[in-house]
Amino acid sequence: MFRTVFGFVALVLAAGAATTSASAQATGDRLKIITGKKTIAIAYRADATPFSFAKENNEPTGYTIDICKAVVTSLEKRLNIAGLKIQWVPVTAQSRFEAVADGKADLECGSSTVTLSRMKQVDFSSIVFVESTGLAVKTASGITSLKDMVGKKIAVIAGTTNEKVVAARSDQLQLNATIVRVKDRDEAVAALESGTADAFANDKLLLIGTRFKDPQALRMLPDDLSIESYAIVLPRGDWELRLAVNTALAQIYRSGEVMTIFNKWFSPIGAQPSLLLQATYTLGALSE
pLDDT, tens digit, 9 for 90 and up, residues 162-214 = 999 999 999 999 999 999 999 998 999 999 999 999 999 999 999 988 889 89
The Cα 250–Cα 283 span in angstroms is: 9
> At 25, is the pLDDT very low, low, confident or very high (cuts 50, 70, 90)?
very low
Cβ atoms within 10 Å, residue 266:
18
CATH number at residue 172: 3.40.190.10
Of 63-72, 151-160, 205-214, 278-287, the least confident: 205-214
> How much is the average pLDDT of 156-167?
93
Q: Is the pLDDT of residue 4 over 70?
A: no
Q: Is residue 12's pLDDT more than 70?
A: no
CA quadruple 154, 157, 158, 160: dihedral, nearest 10: -110
Shared-domain flag, residues 141 and 99: no
Statement: residue 159 has pLDDT above 70:
yes
For the segment 92-120, the average pLDDT, to the nearest whole number, is 96
| Separation CA 190–CA 192 (nearest Å) | 6
What pLDDT sits at residue 27?
A: 52
Alpha carbon distance 185, 206 (integer Å): 10
243 shares a domain with 117: yes
184 and 238 part of one domain: no
Beta strand pairing status for 122-131 and 107-108?
Answer: unpaired
Q: What is the mean pLDDT of residues 81-93?
A: 94
- What confidence tens digit (pLDDT) does each residue in 43-61 have? 999 999 999 999 888 899 9
Task: Give the pLDDT of residue 26.
Answer: 44
DSSP letters along 131-192, please? E-EEEEEEGGG---SGGGGTT-EEEEETTSHHHHHHHHHHHHTT--PEEEEESSHHHHHHHH
Whether residues 166 and 209 fall in one domain: yes
Which of 171, 199, 220 is the endpoint of a domain? 220
Count Cβ atoms within 10 A of the Cβ of residue 1 and give its class: 0-12 exposed, 13-18 middle, 19 or more buried: exposed
HSE toward the beta carbon, residue 80, CA cutoff 13 A:
0
For residue 248, what pLDDT is reported? 97
**Do residue 103 and residue 232 come from a single domain?**
yes
In this structure, the answer to whether residues 212 and 238 fall within a common structural domain is: no
Residues 39 and 109 in one domain: yes
Confidence of residue 237 (pLDDT cuts 50, 70, 90): very high
Q: Do 140 and 217 meet the contact criterion of CB atoms below 8 Å apart?
A: yes
What's the rounded mean pLDDT across residues 230-259? 97
Over range 153-163, report the average pLDDT.
Answer: 94
Question: Is beta strand 133-138 parallel, antiparallel or unpaired with respect to 218-220?
Answer: antiparallel
**Amino acid at the residue 235:** P
Q: How many domains does the chain have?
A: 2
pTM given for the model: 0.82
Q: Are 111 and 241 contained in the same domain? A: yes
Q: Are residues 34 and 107 in the same domain?
A: yes
Among residues of the chain, what percentage have pLDDT more than 70? Answer: 90
Give the strands of the sheet with 60-61, arranged side by side: 47-48, 52-54, 60-61
- One domain for residues 195 and 237: no
Mean pLDDT computed over every residue of the chain? 89
**Residue 1: which pLDDT band, with cuts at 50, 70 and 90?**
very low
How many residues belong to the chain? 288
Instruction: Give, in degrees to the nearest 5, the angle at Cα 115 between 129 and 233.
Output: 60
pLDDT at residue 57, as a whole number:
84
What's residue 13's pLDDT? 38
Beta bridge partners of 127: 231
Q: What is the mean pLDDT of residues 51-73?
A: 95
Range(s) of the domain holding residue 243: 30-131+228-284
Per-residue pLDDT, 29: 86
Instruction: Pick the last residue of a domain from 220, 236, 255.
Output: 220
Instruction: Examine residue 235 and say whether the peptide bond preceding it is cis (omega within 30 degrees of 0).
Output: no
* Residue 56, pLDDT score: 82
